[in-house]
Amino acid sequence: MRLTDTLFYWLQTKLMADRRPEDEAARESLRYFAQILSEDHGLQSIRVASRDQSKIYVSYTDRERTEQTVWFDLEAAEQLGNDLYGAEDEPAEG
């Protein structure tokens, strides 16, 4: 799996796990992608660095301790969580 793809999948599951901390499947998926990033791509740390209205920035450190930052479209990153849980600004049903 390509690094960029794996980072995006990690980000999607990170956003879901943050949104629903009780969701064990989201936490397990987050661990799975973190393991791939560590074992296959040699990343030492991964974090959401910041976000603005349209982008979310992910920073990571590789084996050589070089920090890199990449960005992803915020709407695309949040889409999986919105599909599963509904948009965050939607009123709750009930």
Condensed to tens digits (0 to 9), the pLDDT of residues 5-32 reads 999 999 999 999 999 999 999 999 999 9
Q: Name the maximum alpha-carbon separation found in the chain.
A: 52
Structure-block tokens of residue 10: 């990690």
Task: Read off the pTM.
Answer: 0.86
Rounded Cα distance between 19 and 88, Å, is: 9
Please give the backbone phi and psi of residue 60, each rounded to the nearest 5 degrees, phi first: -145, 155
pLDDT tens, position by position, 34-47: 999 999 999 999 99
SS3 state at 73? strand
Domain boundaries, the chain: 3-83
Q: Tell me the C-alpha to C-alpha distance, in Å, between residue 55 and each of 26, 70, 76, 94.
A: 22, 10, 9, 32
